[in-house]
Amino acid sequence: MSATRNSLRQSDQPAGTNSAPWPVRSRRPSWRQHLVDAEHGLREGLQRDSTLCIHLFLDCVILVVCGVFGLAAWQWVALSLALTGMLVAEFFHHALRVMASLIPDQRAGAHVQRLGTAGALVAAVGGLATILLLLADRAHELFGR
């Protein structure tokens, strides 16, 4: 079966590039390749960074709590922006850690990692503050009167 895979991979390669076992870019349309790249990035991020798994678990808990509280439409928009911002910051933090590991100067790599960590922390604190304010506002509407 590996011979079949190798022959398929070599037949998909552009002419004159037989050094890699798979093609650098496929013959997919660019929009479809972006979707494939995004899926691979999500999978790799979740496999290699436990923080993203914790974020997704806590995001599910937050969504259930907010569903029980019955948020208004504008509150769902604010919630989705807060959760999305935190996840994006964590993905960029993961990307910065990977790139920092490639920098030969360890001091510069550590500096890049610290900056990425600070950015992820700021996004997490801002997102958490937004979520807590939304829940507090809704709790006050439900139980405060």
Burial string for 13-49 (b: 16+ CB within 10 Å, else e) reads eeeeeeeeeeeeeeeeeeeeeeeeeeeeeeeebeeeb
What integer pLDDT is reported at residue 45 of this predicted model? Answer: 87
What integer pLDDT is reported at residue 99 of this predicted model? Answer: 92
Q: State the residue for tokens 């509280």.
A: 69
Q: What stretches in the chain show pLDDT beneath 70?
A: 1-26, 145
Closest C-alpha among 43, 135, 42 to residue 88: 42
Every domain of the chain and the residues it spans: 51-145
Global pTM? 0.73
What integer pLDDT is reported at residue 23 of this predicted model? Answer: 52
For the chain, the average pLDDT equals 84
What integer pLDDT is reported at residue 51 of this predicted model? Answer: 87
Burial string for 61-70 (b: 16+ CB within 10 Å, else e) reads ebeeebeeee
What integer pLDDT is reported at residue 116 of this predicted model? Answer: 94
Closest C-alpha among 57, 43, 48 to residue 86: 57
What integer pLDDT is reported at residue 13 of this predicted model? Answer: 45
92-121 per-position pLDDT tens digit: 999 999 999 999 999 999 999 999 999 999
